Amino acid sequence: MVRAIPGPGGPLTVRIYRPRDALRAALVYFHGGGWVVGSLDSADGTCRALTNRSRCVVISIGYRLAPETKFPGPVEDAYAATRWVADNAADLRIDPTRVAVGGASAGGNLAAAVALLARERGGPKIAFQLLTVPVTELRSTARSTDEFAEGYGLTRADMEWYGSHYIASDAERDHPYASVLRADLHGMPPAFVITAECDPLRDDGEAYAERLSKLGIAARYKRYPGMFHGFMSFPGVLPEAAEAFDDAGAAMREALG
């Protein structure tokens, strides 16, 4: 089902996936694409896989894209959509205390930023974060950023290009809603972070899960050997991608079921 919901810059389009025998829980999902590209259609296969494996209602969000809408516009869209899901829980047939946020790459960045905003603005309650190959740092000095800077799909130059379109000023790269690894993570929701061995974003994604864990938050990551940034786009070809979806579904059922 596709519908329009209110957003801070005008209506946002969302697509709602409901499995048979659905749990009364929801995942608000943000597609990847470096904040510049991607759509509800590009995330359709991922959302169907997550819906079937988790038994949760999945609401995919069509947020505004850069460079027309720069930071923090997409963050505010993502937060407004999550707030709408919680406020309309009865209509969606979900429990408003069992709402998770999730996304891939830049979408994972938005999901973590929404969890920060929800904590700071007094709601809605976010029960879980599902972050797949997320962007957590826009000034990365991690070893994986250098080791896999080129030749593995997503490159360091790509990330610089995406960031330059998303961020209006260099100083904003340090903002905790942009580089979520720099945020105060006390009181954040539990998380499962999926990383790929040959991804320049790997180490910063894993560092995010480790920081949560050190604060006593139930968070973990799983690294998929030999995989590249976009590996989960190929579950019919790569056994590791199918395994990652299975793991994500199991993590959601455990956290939300």
Query: Which residues is 99 bridged to in the sheet?
Result: 26
- At 129, the pLDDT band (50, 70, 90 cuts) reads very high
Mean pLDDT of the chain: 98
According to the model, what pLDDT value does residue 190 have? 98
Q: With CA atoms as reference, report the closest residue to 224 among 192, 191, 202.
A: 202
- State the burial class of residue 24 (Cβ atoms within 10 Å of its Cβ: 0-12, 13-18, 19+): middle
Contact 162, 229 (CB under 8 A): no
Distance of alpha carbon 144 from alpha carbon 122, whole angstroms: 36
Catalytic residue among 31, 165, 175, 229: 229
Catalytic residue chosen out of the listed positions 105, 140, 144, 179: 105
What SS3 state is found at 129? strand
Of 77, 199, 203, 204, which is the active-site residue?
199
Give the mean pLDDT of 33-57: 98
Q: Indicate if the alpha-carbon torsion angle 239, 240, 245, 247 is positive or negative.
A: positive
Q: Beta partners for 70? A: none
Q: Please report, rounded to a whole number, the percentage of residues in the chain having pLDDT higher than 90.
A: 100
**Residue 185: pLDDT band by 50, 70, 90 thresholds?**
very high
- Contacts of range 178-184, beta carbons closer than 8 Å, 24 or more positions apart: 178/71, 178/72, 178/109, 178/113, 178/138, 179/136, 179/137, 179/138, 179/139, 180/109, 180/112, 180/113, 180/116, 180/136, 180/137, 180/208, 181/136, 181/137, 181/207, 181/208, 181/211, 182/137, 183/116
Q: Show the tokens assigned to 204.
A: 């910063």
The two most distant CA atoms of the chain are separated, in Å, by: 48
**Could you confirm whether 204 is annotated as catalytic?**
no
Residue with structure tokens 């720099």? 182
Q: Is 199 an annotated catalytic residue?
A: yes
Domains of the chain, start order? 2-256 (3.40.50.1820)
Mean pLDDT along residues 14-43? 97
Tell me the average pLDDT across 98-115: 99
The whole-number average pLDDT for the span 210-221 is: 98
Mean pLDDT of 197-202: 98
The predicted structure's pLDDT at residue 225: 98
Spatial distance between the Cα atoms of 18 and 68, rounded to a whole number of angstroms: 32
* Prediction pTM value: 0.98
> If pLDDT is split at 50, 70 and 90, which confidence band does 220 have?
very high
pLDDT of residue 251: 98
Taking residue 96's Cβ as centre, other Cβ atoms within 10 Å add up to: 18
pLDDT of 77 higher than 90: yes
Is 105 considered catalytic here?
yes
Spatial distance between the Cα atoms of 44 and 31, rounded to a whole number of angstroms: 9
pLDDT level of residue 257 (50, 70, 90 thresholds): confident
Classify 226 in phi/psi space as left (phi over 0), alpha (psi -120 to 50) or beta: left
